[in-house]
Structure formats: C-alpha cells, structure tokens
Amino acid sequence: MKKDILLFAPYFEKIRTKVHDGELLYLGQYLFNIGYDINILEHKSIPKNTDIIQSSIVIVHLWKNELLLNQRLCKVLIYLDWAKSYFNIETIIGIGSIATSLREEIFDFNSSIDIIIDEFGSHYRENSFKADDFDFVRGYFKEFVCLTDNYLTSTNINYNPSDIVSLYSSRGCQKKCSFCSYNNNVIGWKERNIDDFILDIKKLNKYFFVTKYSLFDNNFGINKKRNEDKARHLSKEIASFDFKVKLSLNISLDGVNKKILDDFKKSSVKNILVGLESLNENTLSNIYNKPQDLDHSTAMIEYAEKKGIIPIVSYILFQPWLTLHELKYEVEKIEEFGRYRIIQFLANSKLQVIPNTDIEERLYKDNLLVKGRLLRDYIFKDNMVEKIYKKLNAFLKEKMLNCDLSVTSLSKLKIDEWKYLKSLLKLYT
C-alpha cells in the first residue's frame, strides 16, 4: 500500500508576500503521479509543535544559502529530531543543494535525517535501509513533470491570488561560479519545454487565480540565440492569456541582449535577478570564476531599467582576498554604476562560503577558512579590509536596532552606510 508523504520547507524570510516553493510543488506532482498522497508544509520559521502534519515519511527541502546563517540549519535539524520521535516519523529524507553539500555533517549532527537524495544517488546515514527503499525519489531529478488538474485539486495546495508561485523552465546551471553550490545536487543543465511552463501558469491561474510567478531556474539560460527564441515564444503566448501575469526570473547577464529584454517586457517580466557580483574584472575571473563583459552587463542593466524591468543586482563586495586598493576601486566603480542598483546592504554584501565549493577549497589551502558546526566563515587576507569590514558591520548592526524596517528607513540606512564606508576608506588610505 502506498503511503502519504509530507513535503516540508523551512523558510526564514520576513517578507509579507508568500512565495511558494516550486521544488516541492513539482516533487509533490512527481510523487502523486506514482501513487503517493502528498501534503505540503511551507513554514516561515521552525514550526510550532502542532503545525506539522503527521506522516510516516517527511521530505525536507534544504537549499537556501541563508540556512547556513545564524545557526538556522542546526535549529531545523534539532526540530526535525524532536518531531521525528514526537510524531513517530519513520523516515526523513533531505533534498536540495544545501542538503547535498553538507551531507556528512548533517548525518553527524543528529539522527533527524536518514537519507539525502540527489540526482547522483541516495545516501544513507546508516545501513538500516535497503539500498533501493527510497530511490523512487531520485527519479524526480531526472525528468520534468507537468502540473495536473487532479493533483492541484486533491492535495492541500491552497494558494491565494496575491501569492507568488515558483515554477521552473530549467534545472541546474551551465556556469561554474566558484562560490555556488546550486549544481552540487543535479547533473548538468536541463531545459524544460517552455510550453509546459506556460500550461502550468494557466492551471494555477484557473484553480487559484494566481497571477505572480517566479521562475526558480538557477539560470534561465546563457545561450542568447536560444533565449531569444524562448523569450519570443513566451511573449506571444502570454499576450494570448485572458488574465494578466507578472513574472520574475534569474538570468546571467551574458544570456541577455536588447531583443530578449524587449520580449521579456512583452511577457510581463517585472524583475530579473542578475549576478553582477563585482565591477572588477580580475575578481570576476580569478576569484569568482565568473568572467563577464562588464560593458555589456552594465548596458543590459541600464536597458532593462529603461524598459521598466527592475534588475535585482546581486553583488559581492567583500571577499577573502580583497585588498584595500581593490576595495577603493570597487567603491569608486559602484559610485559610477549606481549604489541604488545593488540590493544588499554592503556589510551584507559579503561572500558566503558554502561547503563543497571551489572557494571553500581555496580558502582552506590559503589558511583563511573558519570551519564550525554546520557553518563556514573566513578571515580576510588583508588586515585593513578586515578592520573596515568589522567597523561597517558593527555600524549596520547598531543602526538596525533602531530601524522600523519601513522602505524609507531602510533606504536612509543604505545611504548612511555608503557614506560611512567612504569615510572609513578616507581614514585608512
């Protein structure tokens, strides 16, 4: 007899709009197709005792890099360990890039997660399971599934019209940035038929009146010709909808040109999440393994803005090998580029080390890695940069204590932080 499975996603964001976990939505569909009853529990923090739905099998999605901050992953594992005995859960399975990247440490931490499954295989904490007991989950990573009417109407999916739902049009990424773990749990980049993605939008609108979708692809694609075809097709199809949609997607700047952005605009793309990461070509090539034509990247950001698409620019200002000279250079470049375009506070614009990435290995070799229980950090090679970073971080933390988190206060804080960083640079150079 087939059992029911609870799919669980712990989140920690303080955002008001609910963004639903697409990976769990599709994994649910995959398991539903092979006969399992599915429950989905997305939680903004560690659940209260009563929140978890009883189920003998739980699959937990661990993929957000933020899970490695503030001991969040430890808290999730402690909760799962408690829930396992309280609710008599037989098996907890972990999936996602963080689960794969920290597999051995997760198994060592406590006995909450029994199996971690990715496209490469099923990895067991102990030999208490038969090798193929849960291998059916692995099949999910090898194929794409489409949302069906039966699944959407017979499981506990309750989306509100104002929610954002994540859907995919591809899996994996063709790039190999040194700091990124998103390829750790999947084999290569796979493209999904864009028509299937369009059908999923139609179905979710039909049943839940959802109009906002984010593509949770790691990267929409890096081949401009291919992206042109997909963007054109998407724009034609969306124009024929009898309802309005808003889309956001992740894309590399070398995967876009003006034509693609024009069609994105026609496809109701409101935001593109782009990884600029640095305005220093040496850092991009030698540290991040993400060489870019910066003239093209910045021109695309400007063009997107001109078209009314908001580029959400990811930037890593502080990295372990940053010198004082390079810091000054990047600050000047950011000034030219437009500080307002970078979403993070600069103290938060610090390289996050994810285990099992090239950057972790390099930090280890250079004796800069700080390794703790389910966490990674580093010391800066340049003492002056370390000093400046600490002061900037302390400045931000103190200001955040009295910040009401309104958009106006946060914008003011960003301006103050920028001024403070520049004053520190004057002081130390």
> What residue ranges bind ligand SF4 (CB under 6 A)?
173, 175-177, 180, 182, 218-219, 252, 275, 290
Q: Which is closer to ligand SF4, CB of 25 or CB of 173?
A: 173
Q: How far is the CB of 290 from ligand SF4 (least distance, A)?
A: 6
Q: Which is closer to ligand SF4, CB of 89 or CB of 180?
A: 180
Q: How many helices (H) and strands (E) does the chain have?
A: 15, 16
Q: Which is closer to ligand SF4, CB of 180 or CB of 322?
A: 180
The answer to whether residues 376 and 370 touch, using CB atoms and an 8 Å cutoff, is: yes
Q: How far is the CB of 273 from ligand SF4 (least distance, A)?
A: 9
Q: How far is the CB of 177 from ligand SF4 (least distance, A)?
A: 3
Q: How far is the CB of 289 from ligand SF4 (least distance, A)?
A: 8
Q: Which is closer to ligand SF4, CB of 97 or CB of 298?
A: 97
Q: Which is closer to ligand SF4, CB of 181 or CB of 268?
A: 181
Single out the residue of 377, 379, 362 nearest to residue 322, CA to CA: 379
DSSP alpha helix (H) spans, 209-254: 224-239
Q: How far is the CB of 202 from ligand SF4 (least distance, A)?
A: 28
Q: Which is closer to ligand SF4, CB of 186 or CB of 210?
A: 186
**Partners of residue 117 on adjacent β-strands:** 122
What DSSP element (H or E) covers 166? Answer: strand 164-167
Q: Taking the chain, what is the end-to-end CA distance rounded to the nearest angstrom?
A: 71
Q: How far is the CB of 170 from ligand SF4 (least distance, A)?
A: 11
Q: Which is closer to ligand SF4, CB of 8 or CB of 63?
A: 63
Task: Report the phi/psi class of residue 70: left, alpha or beta, with left for phi > 0 and alpha for psi in -120 to 50.
Answer: left
Distances (CA, A) of 11 to 43, 350, 353: 6, 21, 19
Q: How far apart are CA 273 and CA 173, in angstroms?
A: 14
Phi, psi of 100 (to 5 degrees): -65, -45
Q: Which is closer to ligand SF4, CB of 254 or CB of 302?
A: 254
- How many C-beta atoms surround the C-beta of residue 411 within 10 A? 11
The answer to whether residues 5 and 37 touch, using CB atoms and an 8 Å cutoff, is: yes
Residues 6 or more apart in contact with residue 421 via CB below 8 angstroms: 331, 346, 388, 392
Distances (CA, A) of 111 to 81, 84, 101: 6, 9, 18
Q: How far is the CB of 213 from ligand SF4 (least distance, A)?
A: 19
255 DSSP assignment:
G
Give the count of alpha carbons within 13 A of 369, CB side only.
18
Q: How far is the CB of 284 from ligand SF4 (least distance, A)?
A: 11
Q: How far is the CB of 131 from ligand SF4 (least distance, A)?
A: 31
Q: Which is closer to ligand SF4, CB of 146 or CB of 312?
A: 312
